Amino acid sequence: TQLLEQSPQFLSIQEGENLTVYCNSSSVFSSLQWYRQEPGEGPVLLVTVVTGGEVKKLKRLTFQFGDARKDSSLHITAAQPGDTGLYLCAARPPSNSNSGYALNFGKGTSLLVTP
């Protein structure tokens, strides 16, 4: 089973629109990270959220960690073509699992912003 479920899988919008993508799990995490990946490149870290209910802003991007630390959302305001990419959430397996230490990634949300 996938540790992190991301939705939607694909999203195509026009420049200037707002959007929200989601990352959900049944597990509790001590922290969660969001990455953005462009075609042919490796993922690039956007943010780490640690505290339940935490909200972090990065220019037009707003990240929220759920109160119970099981889910997270990424909201983009006034999307631009430069926001196009694959948005990935990632977290380490819970310490009480036997799934190891390294980050597990969701399948990502592929965002296309057209002019």
- Determine if 55 is a binding residue for other proteins (CB under 8 A): no
| From 82, 96, 101, 115, residue interacting with other proteins (rule: CB under 8 A) | 101
- Shortest distance (Å) from residue 60 CB to other proteins: 20
The DSSP code sequence of 26-79 is SS--S-EEEEEE-TTS--EEEEEE-STT-EEEETTEEEEE-TTSSEEEEEESS-
> In terms of Cα–Cα distance, which of 63, 58, 59 is closest to 32?
63
| From 20, 24, 48, 73, residue interacting with other proteins (rule: CB under 8 A) | 48
CA pair distance 91, 3, nearest whole angstrom:
9
CA pair distance 3, 106, nearest whole angstrom:
7
| From 76, 106, 111, 113, residue interacting with other proteins (rule: CB under 8 A) | 106
| From 41, 55, 57, 58, residue interacting with other proteins (rule: CB under 8 A) | 41
Beta carbon nearer to other proteins, 57 or 78: 57
Under the rule (CB under 8 A), what is the footprint of other proteins? 6, 30-31, 33, 35, 40-45, 48, 50, 88, 90, 92, 100-108
